[in-house]
Amino acid sequence: MSTHERHTPLLSVRDITKRFGSFTALDGVSLDIRAGTTVSLVGESGSGKSTLARVVVGLESPDDGSVRHRGETVRGRRARQAFRRGVGMVFQDPYESIDPRFTLSEVVAEPLRAHGMYGPDGRERVRELLESVGMGSVDADSYPNRLSGGQRQRVCIARALATGPDLLVCDEPTSALDVSVQAQILNLLMTLQQERGLAYLFITHDLDVVRRISDEVHVLYRGSVVEHGPATEVIGAPREAYTQRLLGAVLADSPRHRRIGGPPLLSGPAGTAR
Ligand SMILES: Nc1ncnc2c1ncn2[C@@H]1O[C@H](COP(=O)(O)OP(=O)(O)OP(=O)(O)O)[C@@H](O)[C@H]1O
Ligand SMILES: [Mg+2]
- Please state the domain extents for the chain: 3-252
Mutate to test the pocket of ligand 1, among 47, 93, 226 (most ligand atoms within 8 A of CB): 47
Q: Which CATH number fits domain 3-252: 3.40.50.300, 3.20.20.70, 3.40.50.970, 3.40.630.10?
A: 3.40.50.300
Q: What pLDDT digit, counting tens, does each position of 208-241 carry? A: 899 999 999 999 999 999 999 999 999 989 999 9
Residue 76's pLDDT is what?
83
Atom of ligand 1 nearest to the CA of 54: 18
Who contacts 50 (Cβ-Cβ below 8 Å, separation ≥6)?
A: 171, 203
How confident is the model over 97-113, as pLDDT tens digits?
999 999 999 999 999 99
Q: Please tell me if the CB atom of residue 20 comes closer than 6 angstroms to any atom of ligand 1.
A: yes
Mean pLDDT across the chain, nearest whole number? 90
Question: pTM for this one?
Answer: 0.90
Residue 271: pLDDT band (50, 70, 90) is very low
Q: Is the dihedral of CA 42, 45, 46, 47 positive or negative?
A: negative
Q: Which ligand is nearest to the CA of 171?
A: 2
Closest protein CA for atom 29 of ligand 1: 46
